[in-house]
Structure 1
Amino acid sequence: MLRIFHNTTFDFIKWWRWAAGLTAAFIAIGLASYAVNPSLNYSIEFTGGTLMQLEFQQAPDPAELRSTVGTVAEGAEIQQYGSPTEYTVRAQGATGVESADAGAEGVGRRIGAALQQKYGAQGVRVVRTEAVGARVGEELSRGAIVAVLLGSVLTLIYLAIRFEWRFGLAAVLATGHDILVTAAFIKLFHIEVSLTVVAAILTLLGYSMNDTIIIFDRVREDLRLRRKEPLRDTLNRAINETLPRSVLTHATTLAATLALLLFAGEVIRPFAAVMAFGIFVATFSSIYVAGPLLLWIERKWPRRTIAGTAPRGTATPDRGAVRPEQPVGAR
């Protein structure tokens, strides 16, 4: 059996300040980009509209194509992807969509008819068409927000029952960090926010939470075996003990995600991009966010492990800030 990073003794918690500064800087850059341009690149699933994927027999003139589509859907967005003969047409929002007699589906039919009249029935092929009404888009937006919030609340309840509320709070706060970092990534790289991206975010939350739970479960086991050991050392030990499993799991998951990112189609590519980034974020947060947060929570609200004794020895994320356990009243 392949064993890598076995019996390591890395001091991960030692670098928590550098990690916090790095992630805070990335989130700040993302928030600054929101301040400059608060709108996201929403897909028609959330804004309502029509999406068409076109394939031409010969590369068309972009200005001519834009003029032809504009006669049906004014303000439609036209983009080339892949080869010079492949284009996407997006007619979003009220312009050219709500005013159509048959709504978003009618716009798609009218665009297709205009293109076939211009380029001929054999000159252009409509590969796929997606049409979503504005009301459906609003419902999908609400559903996506509810799904993320409900998933976080249920996870907090589960962890509070399965472990204790300190572990659950640290894990959920670390997951909140993952959402902020992923949102900054989506904004900075102008990734289209669609239902597949929402699915990627939910998958990322579960993936990150699972990684954190595995480390926290090892922490709980080590706490029972080494009652006198400071929590900071127990956290480092748990991370090192689960490191071989984490490296193999993340490497295989990343390989599959990169295959989707490089070779999958345009529809699945945003999902793969968010997931590939999320694997790094999940690994980072389970080590450098969840652990220091648990130390901070333990310091603010220490536990009593044995009746008649003071709280268990706690530590801040700084080395050496450890208070040894002693009986109540001892001098």
Structure 2
Amino acid sequence: MKTVKKFNKAFPVCAILSCAVILFGIIGFFVRGINFGIDFVPGLVEEVRIAPAVMELSYKGSATVSVETTNTGLSLVISGTGAENETRTFTYGQNPTIQDMANALSTVEGVIAKVVASANADSYGIYTDSAVSARLTSDSVYRLYVPEENSSVNIDSVRAALEGKNVEVKALGDKSNPSFQIRAAMPETEASVKELQDSIVVTLREKFGADNVATVKTDFVGSQMSSSLAVKSIVLAFVTLLLIWLYATIRFHWDFALGSIIALVHDCLIMFTFITWTQIEFSTTTLAAILTIFGYSINATVVILDRLRENTKTLDTKNFSDILNISISETMTRSIITTVTTLFAAIALLVFTKGSIKTFAEVLTVGLVSGCYSSIFISSGFIEFVRRNWNGENKKKSEPNKNVLTMTDAQ
């Protein structure tokens, strides 16, 4: 026989404890604030590649010559004084290696193409530095790059180089064609996007070499867009809660549904208390962890509510607290085992990963514990309070559940 615990005796204490923790989180919000990630603040999104230059271009002449790269080849746009305003295209198919491409480019009058590395590399992988003017001059060289085979540069080394700059680094491409997406929040001390971009590039060049870093693409996220994302995130969470409330109302009863929503809001506030005081970055990954907990928490709550609904119909008692205690006792093992097994995966991510995945695991771990606790003590405590005057008047007549009635109450 299962022992029925007096869970209802702990409801007032748990309510006070939860209110104290949530109040602590509200204080933390005003004292420390939320460490918003670069998803929710204005900043820079930049894609860079790191590899030695393979070719250098320069031009000596009176015309204006610019370089353009396409998916099929390189083009030289020639215009101005002493030129016939033409575009000369050199395809990768006709010039399969870097040496072949250099020889072809050198056929244009005044253009000097010098191979400095990897002469036999595939020309199809050529890319340029978008942060540098594509116009060729005699005063400076224009560098062309290709991905470096067996490169020692990886995402960890890029993160280490940019440590302390409040950036997020993501690896793109594959080992044969690697690049890195760098998202940087705009600090208050930066005067312009250009200065922010230059500070990142300079740091990378100091680490990997002045001529080995190329900017492939640069985008800027403005304050309006970041604010819009924050508002959409709040709306997403609210809509999620609303849909869960509708589901619980249809399946159960309004007080059961409201109790489940109170438990979800409780879990959300507990996680925000953790976020504010630990100052971990609040990003879209963190938001994903919160929404994940919504799913886990409501699932644990529904199991208890479903058993509570059935026991309300079958148990021969007019004391709702007894029904509540029996229902929680019958589902306790399931609730704990489900939470613990999920915690194994969360803790594994917490120990063996870094960056945003580790942040996800931290918030998920706190949310799992809070979700199990709120399903048992917060949601059930609210329902007991609402039905404190319940006397079984709405109970359907049926045979008592004799197995349940023979359980011994633990004193």
> Does 2:165 correspond to 1:89?
yes
Supply the distance in 1 between the matched residues of 2:204 and 2:289 (Cα, whole angstroms).
36
Q: How does 1:1-331 map to 2 (within 5 A)?
A: 7-37=2-32, 39-50=33-44, 87-90=163-166, 91-93=184-186, 95=188, 99-100=192-193, 107-108=196-197, 110-121=198-209, 132-299=221-388, 304-305=393-394
Conserved 8 A contact 1:48-1:133: yes
The alignment's TM-score, normalised by the length of structure 2, stands at 0.59
Equivalent position of 1:326 in the other structure = none
Change (3 A) 1:306 1:235: closer
Which one-letter code corresponds to 1:252 in the other structure? T
Q: Report Cα offsets for 1:105-136 as digits up to 9, x if no partner.
A: x944x33431244345289989xx99643333
> Secondary structure of 2:163's match?
strand
Supply the distance in 2 between the matched residues of 1:125 and 1:87 (Cα, whole angstroms). 17
SS of the residue 2:355 aligns to: coil
- Inter-partner Cα distance in structure 2 for 1:156 and 1:278: 19
* Distance of aligned partners of 1:120 and 1:178 in 2 relative to their CA distance in 1, 3 Å threshold: closer
Cα contact 1:51–1:88 (8 A) shared by 2 = no
The 1:300–1:186 alpha-carbon spacing in structure 2 relative to 1, beyond 3 Å, is: farther
> Quick one: structure 1 residues 122 and 184, their matched pair in 2 at CA, closer, same or farther if it must change by over 3 Å?
same
2-structure distance, mates of 1:248, 1:25? 28
Change (3 A) 1:119 1:181: closer
**CA distance, structure 2, for counterparts of residue 84 and residue 306 of structure 1:** 65
The answer on whether the counterparts of 2:44 and 2:186 sit within 8 Å (CA) in structure 1 is no
Residues 221 and 29 (structure 1), Cα distance of their counterparts in 2 relative to 1, 3 Å cut: same
Q: Is the 8 A contact 1:19 1:288 kept in 2?
A: yes
Instruction: Decide whether the 8 Å contact of 1:46 with 1:194 is kept in 2.
Output: yes
Paired-residue identity, %: 30
Residues 173 and 276 (structure 1 numbering): CA distance in 2 closer, same or farther, change over 3 Å?
same
Contact 1:81 1:88 in 2 (8 A): no
Structure 1 residues 53 and 291: CA distance shift in structure 2, 3 A: farther
- Consecutive unaligned residues of structure 2, counting only runs of 5 or more, are 49-155, 167-183, 397-411
Kept in 2, the 8 Å contact 1:170–1:293? The answer is yes
Check conservation: 1:44, 1:51, Cα contact below 8 A.
Answer: no
**In 2, distance between residues paired with 1:272 and 1:53?**
27
The C-alpha deviation readout for 1:148-187, integer Å capped at 9, x for no partner, is: 1111111111111111111101111121111221111111
TM-score by length of 1: 0.72
Maintained 8 Å contact 1:53/1:86 = no
Q: CA deviation at 1:94?
A: 6.7
Shift of 1:81: 11
Cα distance in 2 for partners of 1:214, 1:188 equals 32
Mapped contact 1:51–1:130 kept (Cα < 8 A): yes
Taking the aligned partners of 2:221 and 2:241, their CA distance within structure 1 comes to 28
d(CA) in 2 for partners of 1:40 and 1:193?
A: 7
Shift of 1:220: 0.6
Shift of 1:21: 2.3
Say what the alpha-carbon RMSD is for the aligned residues.
3.4
Give the whole-Å Cα distance in 2 for the aligned partners of 1:181 and 1:125. Answer: 43
Task: Answer whether contact 1:33 1:188 (CA < 8 A) is retained.
Answer: yes
Separation in 1, partners of 2:254, 2:28? 35
Q: Deviations over 1:56-113 (max 9, x none)?
A: xxxxxxxxxxxxxxxxxxxxxxxx9999767252343474778336xxxx944x3343
8 A Cα contact 2:320 2:391, kept in partner: no
Task: Work out whether residues 239 and 287 of structure 1, in 8 Å CA contact, stay in contact via their aligned partners in 2.
Answer: yes
